[in-house]
């Protein structure tokens, strides 16, 4: 009805215009003008609004060339996307940037221009939303369009590069025979059915190849975007203890994959199809292992490019170990966080105060901050330096509520992955039956 009204209004105005001019004229959308005055100096006069969030619109007024190859806009050191420029008004989208007051500048042919009032107050966006599944639908697996897709429990997740945006692959380890590819580009979920019962998945630095391990016997598999994510056996078995959940990671070189077993840390040569044990999980050699149940089936492993080290979580011991090579090339192992036992989650110093209830999946961002899924505490925590702080969820309270991260309720978060924009994807092992996206700039 609304569109019909608009049509008749447009028809009336067209007939009126034609009647006044004696002929029928079909008005087209006006072309973008060029109001740049080359006889006057380039100028940055004003900008509005002076506050906002990522991807919101802004206008800069002044005098500048319309050629977008010559003109750039920066919020501090972050370049904005220019949508339109007529030489007098420049329209764009606010880029992701540091929170607080940032200077805005226009750069023309390498020359910077700014204004006394070109200050922009940036507010970060923080939220948790559901991107796959529906709350509390039971252990139901339905493939197809994302608005109809349903999942059970998720124990592993990685983000992978697509043609236009990121996608992700999830595994449901143990008795859930599922490895699923989720295309956020096509909004569809499909099952990778070549081989099932994958316990762990890890993605390489190109984000176009993944490695997987069988959850019960240490058989290694690989898949790539080039081959349509078909899962193929590497023809190699690495000694393992109990089931393998969470224990694979890449480091700096995509040729090598790392697997943490109850026997120790293994380096897997994907090209040579061979493996070597780097060190034993032996308390006599590394006292940090004293009292740790190294044979537990769940041991999550992740690598920090920032600190050049591995972190390994041991849920049954409520703690995280750190592995690294010293300057002599010898491996070192230390207790990094947790290893305390209480009936409630606690924050503060990572060793003296923090209580991490069943830490599972981990991810490290570009700033070297370690994000940890506390499955038993139903929350996500961040470790920065020696400080452990709450990122998302209500500690020790499970639930199925989205929203601002610390207002949301999580249900046994088990695995976590970062995409190319450092958004988080979280798979849960409780009754929620969803994958959630957490945006924390």
Residue 419 has pLDDT above 70, yes or no: yes
Pairing of strands 119-122, 51-52: parallel
Q: Does 298 lie in the same domain as 334?
A: yes
Q: Could you say which DSSP state residue 346 is in?
A: B
User: pLDDT grade, residue 124 (50/70/90)?
Assistant: confident
| Conformational region of residue 71, where left means phi above 0, alpha means psi within -120 to 50, and beta covers everything else | beta
Domain span at residue 322 reads 126-440
In the listed set 122, 153, 185, which residue is the last one of a domain according to the structure? 122
Residue 14 has pLDDT above 80, yes or no: no
pLDDT at site 9: 37
pLDDT at site 31: 53
**Residue 26 counted as domain residue:** no
Residue 366 has pLDDT above 50, yes or no: yes
As a whole number, mean pLDDT of residues 125-134 equals: 94
**Residue 32 counted as domain residue:** no
Q: Does 130 lie in the same domain as 118?
A: no
- 296 vs 176: CA distance, rounded Å: 19
CA atoms within 13 A on the CB side of 255: 5
The share of the chain scoring above pLDDT 70, in percent, equals 93
The whole-angstrom distance between residue 370's C-alpha and the CA centroid of its chain comes to 13
**Residue 31 counted as domain residue:** no
The share of the chain scoring above pLDDT 90, in percent, equals 79
Q: Does the N-terminal peptide bond of residue 369 adopt cis geometry, omega within 30 degrees of 0?
A: no
pTM of the predicted model as reported, rounded to 2 decimal places: 0.78
pLDDT at site 413: 98
Residue 17 has pLDDT above 70, yes or no: no
**Residue 9 counted as domain residue:** no
Residue-wise pLDDT for 242-261, tens only, equals: 778 999 999 999 999 999 99
The whole-angstrom distance between residue 333's C-alpha and the CA centroid of its chain comes to 28
CATH number of the domain to which 103 belongs: 2.60.40.10
As a whole number, mean pLDDT of residues 159-163 equals: 95
Residue 46 has pLDDT above 80, yes or no: yes
User: pLDDT grade, residue 216 (50/70/90)?
Assistant: confident
In the listed set 122, 153, 170, which residue is the last one of a domain according to the structure? 122
Name every residue whose Cβ is closer than 8 Å to that of residue 92 and which is 6 or more positions away in sequence.
57, 58, 60, 73, 80, 81, 82, 83
pLDDT at site 421: 84
User: pLDDT grade, residue 97 (50/70/90)?
Assistant: confident
Q: Does 154 lie in the same domain as 114?
A: no
Residue 220 has pLDDT above 90, yes or no: yes
Q: Which of 30-44, 55-69, 110-124, 408-422 has the lowest mean pLDDT?
A: 30-44
Q: Does 109 lie in the same domain as 258?
A: no
Q: Does 242 lie in the same domain as 197?
A: yes
pLDDT at site 29: 37
Q: Does 306 lie in the same domain as 216?
A: yes
As a whole number, mean pLDDT of residues 54-69 equals: 92
Q: Does 270 lie in the same domain as 162?
A: yes
Chain mean pLDDT for the chain: 90
**Residue 36 counted as domain residue:** no
Q: Does 335 lie in the same domain as 192?
A: yes
In the listed set 83, 105, 122, which residue is the last one of a domain according to the structure? 122
**Residue 109 counted as domain residue:** yes
Residue 74 has pLDDT above 80, yes or no: yes
Pairing of strands 100-108, 71-75: antiparallel
> Are residues 180 and 193 in contact, defined by beta-carbon separation less than 8 angstroms?
no
DSSP string of 270-335, one letter each residue: TTTTEEEEEEE--TTT-GGGTT--TT-SB-EEEEETTTTEEEEEEGGGTEEEEEEE-TTS-EEEEE
**Residue 34 counted as domain residue:** no
As a whole number, mean pLDDT of residues 111-122 equals: 92
As a whole number, mean pLDDT of residues 277-291 equals: 95
At 124 the three-state DSSP class reads coil
**Residue 277 counted as domain residue:** yes
Q: Does 132 lie in the same domain as 91?
A: no
Q: Does 273 lie in the same domain as 257?
A: yes
More confident residue, 57 or 124: 57
pLDDT at site 32: 62
Q: Does 184 lie in the same domain as 62?
A: no
Residue 429 has pLDDT above 80, yes or no: yes
Residue 26 has pLDDT above 60, yes or no: no
Residue 347 has pLDDT above 60, yes or no: yes
Domain tally, the chain? 2
CATH number of the domain to which 241 belongs: 2.120.10.30
Q: Does 165 lie in the same domain as 76?
A: no
Residue-wise pLDDT for 370-393, tens only, equals: 999 999 999 999 999 999 999 999
């Amino acid at each position: 009805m609304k569109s019909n009204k608009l049509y008749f209004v447009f028809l009336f105005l067209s007939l009126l215009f034609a009647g006044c001019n004696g002929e029928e004229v079909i008005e087209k959308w006006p072309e973008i003008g060029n109001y740049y005055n080359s006889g006057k100096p380039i100028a940055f006069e004003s900008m509005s609004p002076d506050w906002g969030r990522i991807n919101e619109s802004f206008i800069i007024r002044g005098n500048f060339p319309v050629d977008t190859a010559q003109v750039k806009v920066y919020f501090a050191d972050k370049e904005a996307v220019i949508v339109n420029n007529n030489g007098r008004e420049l329209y764009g989208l606010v880029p992701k940037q540091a929170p607080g007051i940032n200077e805005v500048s226009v750069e023309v042919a390498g020359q910077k221009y700014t204004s006394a009032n070109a200050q922009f107050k940036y507010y970060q966006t923080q939220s948790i939303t559901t991107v796959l599944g529906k709350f509390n639908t039971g252990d139901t697996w339905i493939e197809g369009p994302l608005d109809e897709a349903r999942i059970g429990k998720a124990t592993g997740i990685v983000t992978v590069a697509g043609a236009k945006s990121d996608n992700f692959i999830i595994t449901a380890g143990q008795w859930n025979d599922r490895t699923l590819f989720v295309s956020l580009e096509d909004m569809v979920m499909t099952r990778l059915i070549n081989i099932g019962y994958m316990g762990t998945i890890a993605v390489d630095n190109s984000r176009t190849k993944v490695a997987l391990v069988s959850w019960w016997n240490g058989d290694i598999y690989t898949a790539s975007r080039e081959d349509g994510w078909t899962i193929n056996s590497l023809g190699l078995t690495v000694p393992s203890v109990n089931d393998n959940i969470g224990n694979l990671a890449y480091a700096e070189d995509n040729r090598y994959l790392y697997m943490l077993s109850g026997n120790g840390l293994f380096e897997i040569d994907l090209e040579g199809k061979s493996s070597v044990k780097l060190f034993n999980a032996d308390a006599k050699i590394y006292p940090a292992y004293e009292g740790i149940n190294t044979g537990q089936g769940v041991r999550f492993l992740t690598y920090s490019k920032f600190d050049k080290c591995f972190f390994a979580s041991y849920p049954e011991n409520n703690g995280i170990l750190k592995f690294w090579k010293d300057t002599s090339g010898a491996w070192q192992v230390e207790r990094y966080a947790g290893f305390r036992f209480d009936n409630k989650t606690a924050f503060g110093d990572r060793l003296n105060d923090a209580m991490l209830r069943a830490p599972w999946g981990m991810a490290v961002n570009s700033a070297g901050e370690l994000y940890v899924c506390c499955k038993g505490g139903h929350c996500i925590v961040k470790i920065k330096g020696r400080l452990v702080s709450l990122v998302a969820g209500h500690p020790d309270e499970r639930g199925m509520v989205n929203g601002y991260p610390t207002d949301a309720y999580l249900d046994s978060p088990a695995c976590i992955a970062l995409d190319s924009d450092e958004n988080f994807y979280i798979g849960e092992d409780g009754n929620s039956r969803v994958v959630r996206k957490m945006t924390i700039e």
